[in-house]
Copies of this chain bind each other. A is one copy, B any other.
């Protein structure tokens, strides 16, 4: 394996989940694997879980870590070909990526969708710029299009909590005051399509995700119908994809409640707005898996780093 850019870079999801759960039992087992190897983590956006868990995963493997808030600590980047750079941007991705690649062995990048221009976001210029120009493995710590470390942590959490071979898993849209990106639901959908599960997506009409991603997955507009018999409910807001970046409604009736959840386990990637996305009673109740999901971020990152280190000795 070279990069970890999306769920598609996982060759066998069950094998990776198994290996992550092994690492969780003995996180320092491979503490010599990363010796004299450096992970550089570049943040173009805020982060809590990703920042700490990825760092922790690298330290478990004995790696050196350099963390940088690229957006505030470095130079503003240009991505266009042939641009006359006489405006705000001081450095081109071509130079930045090549240069960073010389100071580390793996580069991990977080760069969110701007939610203003669908094509620009779809191009995922920061992540793909590093892939194109840096000669080293690149890890996606959430890009415009996906958050595959989160989805892998979700797969681990599902495996740890599943009582059936083929559980019913529902991805349920939730209201939110702000327009949020599609990265988390995109990767969750892609991951679920590789799981044995009865998978249903539910959201108000107009909130359809990118159809090229949801193709083949069931969409049910009636949340109550969708939730019926669910074993796991993954709640998440996202903004409108067709009228890109807009907030069509903040229909509070879509908030997840204890009543709607029933016997299902509750999942969310965090951070979560209490009593907007989901009510307190769910988060504070025994069916919530959100803290364990966050914990599994460490082992998701660790299996990814380990696979990369194994492939690049």
What are 28 inter-chain pairs, A to B, with CB distance below 8 A? A38-B59, A48-B68, A48-B70, A48-B75, A48-B91, A48-B100, A51-B68, A51-B73, A52-B104, A55-B103, A59-B64, A72-B72, A75-B271, A82-B280, A83-B274, A84-B274, A84-B275, A84-B276, A85-B275, A86-B276, A90-B273, A95-B270, A95-B290, A96-B271, A98-B291, A98-B294, A99-B270, A102-B298
- Shortest CB-to-CB span from A34 to chain B, Å, is 13
CB pair A94–B295 under 8 Å, yes or no, is no
Determine which of B51, B69, B85 lies in contact with A276 in the assembled complex, contact meaning CB atoms within 8 Å: B85
Given A100-B52, A271-B75, A276-B85, A28:B36 Cβ within 8 A: yes
CA distance A201 to B128 in the complex (A): 39
Q: Which of A252-302 contact B (CB under 8 A)?
A: 270-276, 280, 283-284, 290-291, 294-295, 298
User: Which residues of chain B are within 8 angstroms of A151 by Cβ–Cβ distance?
Assistant: none
CB pair B177–A91 under 8 Å, yes or no, is no
- Shortest CB-to-CB span from A96 to chain B, Å, is 7
Contact string against B for A residues 222-252, beta-carbon threshold 8 Å, 1 for contact and 0 otherwise:
0000000000000000000000000000000
User: Which residues of chain B are within 8 angstroms of A48 by Cβ–Cβ distance?
Assistant: 68, 70, 73-75, 91, 96, 99-100
User: Which residues of chain B are within 8 angstroms of A272 by Cβ–Cβ distance?
Assistant: 91-92, 95
Any B CB within 8 A of the CB of A8: no
How many copies of the polypeptide does the oligomer hold? 3
Any B CB within 8 A of the CB of A131: no
User: Which residues of chain B are within 8 angstroms of A36 by Cβ–Cβ distance?
Assistant: 28
Any B CB within 8 A of the CB of A191: no
CA distance A169 to B102 in the complex (A): 26
Q: Which of A39-47, A154-162, A209-217, A303-311 contacts B (4 or more CB under 8 A)?
A: A39-47
Contact string against B for A residues 89-121, beta-carbon threshold 8 Å, 1 for contact and 0 otherwise:
111101110111011100000000000000000
User: Closest B-chain residue to A284, C-beta based?
Assistant: B94
CA distance A38 to B276 in the complex (A): 34
CA distance A81 to B211 in the complex (A): 39
Chain A interfacial residues counted at CB < 8 A: 60
CB pair A95–B28 under 8 Å, yes or no, is no
CB pair B90–A271 under 8 Å, yes or no, is yes
CB pair B271–A95 under 8 Å, yes or no, is yes
User: Which residues of chain B are within 8 angstroms of A90 by Cβ–Cβ distance?
Assistant: 271, 273
CB pair B47–A294 under 8 Å, yes or no, is no
User: Closest B-chain residue to A100, C-beta based?
Assistant: B52
User: Which residues of chain B are within 8 angstroms of A270 by Cβ–Cβ distance?
Assistant: 91, 95, 99
User: Which residues of chain B are within 8 angstroms of A276 by Cβ–Cβ distance?
Assistant: 84-86
CA distance A78 to B36 in the complex (A): 40
CB pair A73–B56 under 8 Å, yes or no, is no
